[in-house]
Amino acid sequence: MAETEYDKEHTHPGVGQYVEIGIILGVMTLLEVILFESFDRGFSTQVGIPALIVLTILKFMLVVLWFMHLRFDHKLFRRLFFVGVALALLVFGIVGANFYLGPQIGF
Amino acid sequence: MAAQPEADMSAPLPGTDYEHSTSLGLSNNKLGMWTFIGSECLFFGALISTYLIYVGRTNEGPTPAAIYDVPFTSVSTFILLMSSLGMVLALAAIQAGEMRKFRTWILATGLMGATFLAGQFYEFTVFAAEQFNLTTSPFSSSFFVLTGFHGLHVALGILMLLAMWTASMMGRLPQQLHTTVENIGLYWHFVDIVWIIIFTVVYLIPAATTAPAAG
């Protein structure tokens, strides 16, 4: 048996949609570079850096949801992945808090 | 003369099951791959956290703004993103039974991965020439460990892509095994999303915030 019953039932996007996502990803990367270059011309980093982070999250989600098929796949796969992401963010938060706040609160 | 369907030549042996049924109705291999990817999120999360802690500790060495070549890295990033597109097109091809197209896309994906890796090797060589290496500063150590481990993941992905291409050429990767291609594709896309984060968090933001003020 090559595929499970579940595999037979769920569908993936078509080639055209994959190419569209690929073009959007390329354009978003170009936007990131333009934003970065605009800092040299005096564009505010207080606006530009949040914009860079938003673009990064959008690119991340496009790849995860469409190329990795999490939008179409079983919810268990989604949970496994996003639990990993949540734990990574937790580690990041704990390390950051310990490093930056620790000295201030006497650690 | 019509071409013979390749799947017939590489059909599984009678009675051979590629995958075991599970009570969830899901592929064990795919479940395993997603579990592995979840754990890898933690691994890279820890490395990126470490980098962010040490990015300001340059000692007497160069700062991110002084050492990074962002336009060059942008091209590498674009190539890696497009390799993800190649990977999904390879998957779509094998699912449609278009084996020749599958091999073309899988080879293109591997070549784009190799180009990215060559770019990283070149970048490291330039850094070494500028006295920026693993022991220069806490910033350099965290940078090389993070990007080095990512490069190692890319190299492993390229080996898996080449193995699939070789297996397909030898007729050992029939259309029925497209879930294997999907699983390796998941790994490849994961390597790509890690780089999407690295590109912004490691290159763009530190280079922008440590650059001398314009004017």
Please determine, for residue B11, whether its predicted confidence score (pLDDT) is greater than 50. no
Residue range A41-49: average pLDDT? 89
Q: Verify that A55 and A69 share a domain, yes or no.
A: yes
Query: Within a domain: residue B87?
Result: yes
Q: Which residues contact B205 (CB under 8 A, 6 or more apart)?
A: A49, A52, A53
Same domain assignment for residues A44 and A59: yes
* Close Cβ partners of A46 (under 8 Å, ≥ 6 residues apart): none
CB contact under 8 A, B196 and A60: yes
Q: Which residue of B has its CA nearest to A31?
A: B74
pLDDT tens column, B110-142: 999 999 999 999 999 999 999 999 999 999 999
Same domain, A7 and A38: yes
B150, part of any domain: yes
Min Cα distance B66 → chain A (Å) is: 13
B37, A81: Cβ pair inside 8 Å? yes
CATH number at residue B79: 1.20.120.80
Which residues of chain A lie closer than 8 angstroms to B39, CB-CB?
Answer: 84
Whether residues A80 and A69 fall in one domain = no
Range(s) of the domain holding residue A58: 1-73
Lowest mean per-residue pLDDT among B8-12, B143-147, B207-211: B8-12
Contact A88 B46 (CB under 8 A): yes
Place of tokens 């994906």: B109
Same domain? For A63 and A28 the reply is: yes
For residue B19, is it within any domain? no
How many structural domains does chain B have? 1
How many C-beta atoms surround the C-beta of residue A94 within 10 A?
11
Chain A positions in Cβ-Cβ contact with residue B22 (cut-off 8 Å) = 4
For residues A62 and A81, state if they share a domain: no
Which residue of A24, A29, A94 to mutate against B (max B Cβ within 10 Å)?
A: A29
Of residues B22, B178, B193, nearest to A63 (C-beta): B193
- Establish if B105 belongs to a structural domain: yes
A77 interaction partners in chain B (CB closer than 8 Å): 30-31, 34
Check whether residue A79 and residue A52 sit in a common domain: no
Q: What are the C-alpha distances in Å from B128 to residues B121, B140, B185?
A: 11, 11, 33
- Number of domains within chain A: 2
Write out pLDDT tens, residues B72-100.
999 999 999 999 999 999 999 999 999 99
Query: Where does the pLDDT of residue B209 fall: very low under 50, low under 70, confident under 90, or very high at 90 and above?
Result: confident
Give Cβ neighbours of residue B184 (< 8 Å, ≥ 6 apart). Answer: B157, B160, B161, B164
C-alpha to C-alpha distance for A82 and A73, rounded to whole angstroms: 14
Please give, rounded to a whole number of angstroms, the shortest distance from the CA of B19 to a CA of chain A: 6
What confidence score (pLDDT) does residue A106 get? Answer: 63
- What's the CA gap between B142 and B139, in Å, rounded? 5
Predicted pLDDT at B98: 95
Answer yes or no: is B93 within a domain: yes
Distance from CA of B133 to the nearest CA of A (A): 25
Question: Is residue B114 included in any domain, yes or no?
Answer: yes
Residues A14 and A49 in one domain: yes
Which of A18, A40, A80 comes nearest B89 by C-beta?
Answer: A18
Chain A residue with minimal CA distance to B83? A22
In whole angstroms, give the CA distance from residue B80 to residue B25: 33
| Co-location of A64 and A80 in the same domain | no
For chain A, the average pLDDT equals 86
Range of the domain at B188: 40-53+66-209
Interchain proximity B92–A15, CB inside 8 Å: yes
Question: Interface pTM (ipTM) of the complex?
Answer: 0.86
Q: Which of B49, B189, B214 sits opposite A95 (nearest CB)?
A: B49
Q: Test B205 with A26 for CB contact under 8 angstroms.
A: no
Q: When comparing pLDDT for B174 and B215, which is higher?
A: B174
Whether residues A99 and B53 touch (CB distance < 8 A) is answered with: yes
Q: In chain A, count H helices and then E strands.
A: 4, 0
Task: Please check the confidence at residue B17 and state whether its pLDDT lies above 50.
Answer: no
B35 domain-assigned: no
Size of interface A-B (CB pairs under 8 A): 173
Residue with tokens 């500028």: B130
Say yes or no: A62 and A33 in one domain. Answer: yes
